């Protein structure tokens, strides 16, 4: 079947006074005379997420009780005992990778001993050894997301975005003679170029939907509690006249998603301006005190960015090493870093498992959002690669063995899903990341300390 209607550019936008809003993919954007099947191939999106402090499942007790890795390999594994049990509804999109190590986060020399928390974030997406320095001569490696951005990021208005939940930009030196930048970010444009991360959802929203607006115009809109959609209303009305019924419905749903995100940000800002005591007194006014609300807002922003193809690449740092935040929704009352130092006591490891499970339980919210967005013949989750993990294993020992890692999404068909791949002892995590990079079209033979590609579609391992 051929599309014969008037073609709408994929880069068409809604414009108004001081605002530019990208559009979701619409049928009208498929070139006239193109077969539907030919038009269905879609780019692969990437979200790389780091959660600090390793996993309870990396301990001897946790391995015995399958707190992270399922007992079975292949496709018949049971997620129920694991921290990933909340991912069961998405197991067809899930690839669990267990028993890999992040050796470059280990201490190689005596002065590095004890500094594991101040190396780990820099290693996660680079799988490279950070240089021990408190000066400006920082050095790690080009990160996974930025390697992909070099090939895919230039096709979108924003090549990539770097987001975080905890406070960053703690300038200068941190402990053990390591620059704070190593714990501030997980994204490196080159081995000497760490990228700053955005904590404030308002700042993310303005980058995605306020391109072309001056800071003064954005401030005026917020002061009057206006919506960015009010500024492009004439453009919306004109576009609707040119669309078919299906596209009008898709546009309306997308714009309502944008408006709902904006409402939630406005509500957070309004609540934080009342003068009432905050749980996070030093946080920007747009940052929710609730960890879960903050994470979900950031997930929503990533989903609408993918829908509009504003960017295809996000890195997302859930926490900061040695954070002692408490997560009431986890069922544990332990502070995060303190709880991760469980002294190898079974009951404390079990309590730390609650925190791990809680963090993973937020991810299905994102997966549901991505799966609900049509994309070619499938959905955005079909054409996405989500990475979740840590370069730390047993946090009580500060080691980097048997680190937690899973992938979600089909990466445009390259990953089958419903897999648990258990690597051989001593396998670098970089082997799995090398394969993942290859699966999204990056033709490289070496990543970090990789030794060979790891089959992520293996039925047995």
pLDDT class for 35, splitting at 50, 70, 90?
very low
What residue spans define the domains of the chain? Answer: 1-41+210-286, 44-199+287-439
DSSP-based three-state secondary structure for 132: coil
pLDDT at 121: 96
Residues with Cβ < 8 Å from 290, sequence gap 6 or more? Answer: none
pLDDT at 410: 98
**What residue spans of 164-214 are helical by DSSP H?**
181-184, 201-209
Instruction: For 152-191, give one letter per residue: b (16+ CB within 10 A) or e.
Output: bbeebbbbbbbbbbbebeeeeebebebbbbbbbbbbbbeb
pLDDT at 229: 86
How far apart CA 264 and CA 208 sit, in angstroms, is 16
Q: Which two tokens stand for residue 231?
A: 């500024």
pLDDT at 38: 45
Q: Nearest-5° angle of CA 102, CA 108, CA 112?
A: 100
pLDDT at 2: 32
Residues constituting the chain: 461
**Residue-wise DSSP of 85-100:** GGGGGGGGGEEEEEEE
Evaluate if residue 125 carries a pLDDT over 90: yes
Nearest to 413 by CA among 98, 144, 88, 42: 42
Q: 452 or 37: which carries more pLDDT confidence?
A: 452
CATH code assigned to 44-199+287-439:
3.40.720
Give me the chain's average pLDDT, please: 91
Averaged over 209-214, what is the pLDDT? 63
Residues with Cβ < 8 Å from 237, sequence gap 6 or more? Answer: none
Q: Work out the percent of the chain whose per-residue pLDDT is above 90.
A: 75
How far apart CA 52 and CA 38 sit, in angstroms, is 42
Residues with Cβ < 8 Å from 234, sequence gap 6 or more? Answer: 16
Nearest to 272 by CA among 259, 282, 258: 282
Residues with Cβ < 8 Å from 37, sequence gap 6 or more? Answer: 377
Q: Work out the percent of the chain whose per-residue pLDDT is above 70.
A: 91
Q: Which two tokens stand for residue 199?
A: 């904590």
Record the pTM: 0.94
């Amino acid at each position: 079947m051929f599309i014969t209607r008037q073609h709408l550019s994929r880069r068409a936008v809604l414009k108004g006074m001081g605002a530019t809003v990208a559009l979701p993919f619409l049928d009208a954007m498929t070139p006239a005379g193109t077969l539907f099947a030919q038009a269905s191939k879609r780019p692969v999106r990437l979200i790389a997420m780091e959660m600090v402090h390793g996993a309870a499942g990396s301990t001897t007790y946790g391995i015995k009780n399958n707190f992270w890795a399922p007992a079975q390999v292949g496709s018949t594994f049971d997620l129920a005992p694991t921290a990933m049990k909340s991912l069961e509804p998405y197991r067809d999109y899930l690839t669990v990778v267990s028993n890999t190590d992040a050796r470059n986060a280990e201490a190689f020399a005596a002065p590095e001993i004890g500094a594991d928390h101040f190396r780990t974030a820099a290693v996660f997406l680079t799988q490279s050894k950070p240089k021990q320095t408190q000066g400006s001569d920082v050095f790690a490696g080009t990160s996974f997301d930025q390697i992909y951005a070099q090939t895919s990021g230039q096709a979108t208005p924003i090549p990539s975005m770097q987001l975080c939940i905890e406070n960053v930009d703690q300038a200068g030196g941190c402990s053990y003679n390591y620059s704070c930048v190593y714990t501030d970010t997980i994204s490196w444009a080159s081995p000497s170029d760490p990228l700053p991360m955005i904590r404030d959802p308002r700042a993310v929203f303005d980058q995605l939907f306020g391109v072309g607006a001056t800071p003064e115009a954005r401030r005026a809109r917020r002061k009057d509690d206006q919506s960015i959609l009010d500024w492009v209303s004439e453009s919306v009305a004109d576009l609707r006249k040119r669309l078919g019924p299906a596209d009008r419905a898709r546009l309306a749903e997308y714009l309502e998603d944008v408006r709902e995100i904006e409402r939630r940000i406005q509500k957070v800002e309004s609540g934080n301006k009342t003068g009432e005591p905050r749980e996070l007194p030093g946080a920007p006014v747009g940052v929710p005190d609730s960890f879960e609300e903050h994470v979900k807002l950031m997930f929503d922003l990533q989903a609408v960015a993918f829908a509009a193809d504003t960017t295809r690449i996000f890195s997302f740092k859930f926490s900061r090493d040695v954070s002692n935040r408490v997560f009431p929704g986890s069922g544990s009352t332990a502070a995060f870093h303190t709880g991760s130092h469980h002294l190898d006591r079974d009951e404390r490891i079990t309590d730390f498992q609650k925190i791990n499970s809680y963090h993973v339980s937020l991810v299905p919210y994102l997966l549901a959002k991505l799966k609900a967005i049509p994309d070619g013949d499938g959905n955005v989750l079909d054409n996405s690669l989500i990475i979740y993990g840590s370069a730390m294993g047993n946090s009580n020992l500060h080691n980097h063995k048997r680190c937690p890692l899973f992938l979600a999404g089909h990466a445009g068909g390259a990953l089958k899903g419903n897999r648990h791949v258990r690597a051989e002892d001593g396998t670098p995590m970089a082997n799995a990341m090398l394969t993942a990079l290859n699966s999204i079209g990056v033709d490289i033979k070496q990543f970090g300390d990789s030794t060979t590609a790891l089959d992520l579609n293996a039925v047995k391992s």
